[in-house]
Structure 1
Amino acid sequence: MKKLLGTVALLCATASFAAANDKELQLYNWGDYTNPELLKKFEAETGIKVTVTDYDANDTALAKIRAGGHGFDMVVPSANYLPIFVEEGLVIDLDHSKLSNIGNIAPEWQDVEWDPGRKNSVPWQWGSTGIMVNKTVYDGDINTSALWLDVPDELKGKINVTPEMNDIVNMAVWYFGGETCSEDPVVLKQVRDALIAAKPDWIAMDYGATEKMSSNDWGATVYWNGAALRSRINNPDVHFGYPKEGFPLFMDSVAILSDAKNPEGAYNFLNFIMEPENAALISAYAKYANGITGSEPFLPEEMKGAPEIEIPAEAMKAGHFLQTCSPKAQEYMTAIWTELMK
C-alpha cells in the first residue's frame, strides 16, 4: 500500500510539474530586443508566461546551448549562425501544420539560403549594420567605412566601433575589396594592419549607442539601424550611413530548441509572432523590420518611410548577408579579432 501511495504521489507530482511547464516558456534572445508588451499580450491570450534571458553575441548563445542544462525553449540566432544550430542538432525541424500563420512570412523571407523553406525558424527582425554620425560633429560623406578605418580629424577620439567580430572584420575586408569570409592572406593583412592602426582613434569598442548618440557623448559609431532610428528620434542631428564598400545585412530568426521543456508552448509563441499586429509590436520596440506581410499598417509612424529602415536601392547594392564561414576563415578572423582586443 505504501508503495502504491508513493507511486500515486510521484505521478501527481510529475503531472503537476508538467502542467506548470505548460504555462511557462524560456526565450533566449539578444539584449534590449524583446517588447514587454508583446509578452504581456501573449500571456493574456494563452496563459503562458515568457521569461527572457539576454545575450550579447551569437557565440555566447551558441556556447550556452551547446553546453546543455540551460532550460531555454527558444533561441534567436542570426542568419550566419542558424545553420550551425541546425547542423549540430540543437534546434528542431518545424512542423508547419502547427503554424497556421507560416504563410504570413513575406515572400522574400520564405525560402532563405540559411533556412531553405523555413524548415527550422521563423523571422524575428532584420536590419543592417552601418555608421551613425552626428552631423554637427562631422558633415562629410557618411557612406564609407573610411570613417572608422581612416578616421577623419573631426571624429578622432569620438567614434565608437561595436565589438561584433563578424560585422567589423567583414566590413574591413569589403573595404579592401575582399570577399565575405576571406581566406586571402594579402587582404587579411591589410585588414589586420588597418584595424590595429585605427583603434587609437576610436573612443571605445562598446554597446549602448542609443544613449551615447542621443546625448552627444559620441560623435559617431558603427552600429545597427534600429538603434540609429531610436537615436535620431531622440537627437535629430544623428544620421545613418551605408558604407559603399560593403555593409552587413542580418536577419535574426526564432527556433525551438531540441531539448525544449515546453515545445508546444513554443509553437504557440512562433505562431503568435507571425500575426501581423504582433510582429509590429516586436518592431515597435527595437525599431527593426520584421519580415511579416501585413505588419506595416500597425507600425509606429516614425518607422514608416524611415531611411534607417527602408534601405535606399543604390545603397542596398553594397549590402551583404554574413555567411557561415569555413573553419579556416573563422580561425583567421578570430586571430585578427584577438589581437585587436588586446
Structure 2
Amino acid sequence: KAGKMGQYDVAVPGDYMVKIMGDEGLLDNFAPEDLPNFGNIAPQWLDVPFDPGRHSSIPYQWGSTAFSVNRDVYKDDIGSLGIIFNPPAELQGKINVLDSQGEVLTLGSIYLGIPQCTQDREQLKALNEMLVNAKTHWASFGSDTAKDVLVSGDAAAGMIYNGFSSKARAEGANVEYAFPKEGYVVWMDNVVLLKDAPNRDNALKFMNFLLDPENAAAVTNYAAYSAGVTGVEPFLDDEIRNSPENNPPADQKGFFIEACDEETQKLYDAVWTNLKK
C-alpha cells in the first residue's frame, strides 16, 4: 500500500502476504494461457494455500527457516528445535535468533506441537513461558546478521534461513543446517500481478520470463535458495544443486507461516512484545 493502485505492475510478497493482499483486493488475476511458461511451475507449488491454482502469483524462490550449529563447538545431535528453545550447556549464551515475529513464534509453536493461530489461552501461555525461558540462553536477535555472526564466531548456533547457512559454509564456517524432527518453516517469495497494473502486458511477459528454467536457475544460483520451476537442474551450479540446505529429508515436514485473523494476531503480538521487552 506504499503507493496508489495503478502505480506499480508487480510485487514480490512472501507466501502469507499473497493471501492478505488478495483478500484486500490488491491483486489482479491472470489465466494460465497468459503465461506460456505456466506449465513450468513445479506441481507441489501450484495448488498452494495462499493462492490455490496460482491465479494471481507465480513462485519466485522458496526456502526454509530452521537453525544452524557450529560443529566445532557442539558435536552432538542437532535434530530437534530444542537446540534453540532448550539449548545444551555448550550453546547457552551463544545463540542468535531471527528478529522475526512470524518465524520465532511459528517455530516455537512447532516445537511445542500447538497449532498456529490458536486462541487457546493455555497454549499461548505455554508458548509465552517457553520463549521467555529460552531467551535467557540467547545472545542476540538479528536477521540481517544471522549469517555474519556464525561466520565470525560471535554465535555458535542460530536460527537462520537455509540460503544464509549455505553462504556461511561457503565463507568458511563449519556449520550444519538442521531439519528438526518437529518440523521447520517453509517460505516462498512470489511475484504477483497487481490490480490496475499500468503495464499489464509487460508485467505478464516479465512473469513468464521468470518461469523459464534457465532464468529461474540464474536467480537460484545467485540467491542460494530454490526455484519453484521444473527443469532448472541442468542450469544450476553444482554447489547449489548438491547443497544440503536445499535438500530436506523426505520424512521431515515444513510448515508455511499462517496468516491469523486480526483478533488472533493481537494475541501473538502480545507474546512477541513480551519476549522483546
Tell me if TM exceeds 0.5.
yes
Whether 2:91 is the aligned partner of 1:148: answer no
Q: Matched residue of 1:308: which SS? A: helix
Whether 2:201 is the aligned partner of 1:264: answer yes
Match of 1:96 in 2: 32
In structure 2, list runs of 5 or more residues that go unmatched. none
Q: How far off its partner does 1:161 sit?
A: 0.5
Contact 2:66 2:179 in 1 (8 A): yes
Match of 1:322 in 2: 257
Coordinate RMSD, CA, aligned? 1.8
Whether 2:10 is the aligned partner of 1:74: answer yes
CA distance in 1, matches of 2:170, 2:6: 37
Match of 2:244 in 1: 307
Match of 2:187 in 1: 250
Q: Which runs of 4+ in 1 moved over 3 A?
A: 66-72
CA distance in 2, matches of 1:154, 1:179: 31
Match of 1:20 in 2: none
Match of 1:201 among 137, 142, 163: 137
Q: Matched residue of 2:61: which SS? A: strand
Look at both structures and tell me which one has the larger radius of gyration over its CA atoms. Answer: 1
- Percent identical pairs in the alignment equals 38
Q: How far off its partner does 1:236 sit?
A: 5.0
Q: How far off its partner does 1:202 sit?
A: 1.3
Q: Matched residue of 1:204: which SS? A: strand
Whether 2:167 is the aligned partner of 1:230: answer yes
Match of 2:111 in 1: 175
Contact 2:150 2:173 in 1 (8 A): no
How many pairs align?
276
Question: What are the Cα deviations for residues 161-219 of structure 1, in whole angstroms up to 9, with x where unaligned?
Answer: 00111111121112222112222211211111121222232111112222222232221
Q: 1:333 to 1:237 in 2, by over 3 A?
A: same
Contact 1:160 1:206 in 2 (8 A): yes
In structure 1, list runs of 5 or more residues that go unmatched. 1-64
Contact 1:157 1:201 in 2 (8 A): yes
Contact 2:66 2:178 in 1 (8 A): yes
TM norm structure 1 = 0.76
- Which protein, 1 or 2, shows the higher relative CO under an 8 Å CA cutoff with sep ≥ 6? 2
Match of 1:128 among 51, 64, 68: 64
CA distance in 2, matches of 1:228, 1:98: 37
Letter in 2 for 1:139: K
Letter in 2 for 1:266: A
Q: 1:93 to 1:320 in 2, by over 3 A?
A: same
- The structure where helix makes up a greater share of residues is 1
Whether 2:98 is the aligned partner of 1:162: answer yes
Q: How far off its partner does 1:305 sit?
A: 2.6
Letter in 1 for 2:153: N
Match of 1:118 among 42, 45, 54: 54
CA distance in 2, matches of 1:84, 1:160: 29
Q: How far off its partner does 1:66 sit?
A: 6.2
CA distance in 1, matches of 2:177, 2:104: 17
Q: How far off its partner does 1:332 sit?
A: 1.3
CA distance in 1, matches of 2:86, 2:55: 43
CA distance in 1, matches of 2:257, 2:54: 18
TM norm structure 2 = 0.93
Moved more, 134-143 or 70-79: 70-79
Q: Matched residue of 1:293: which SS? A: coil
Match of 2:232 among 273, 295, 298: 295
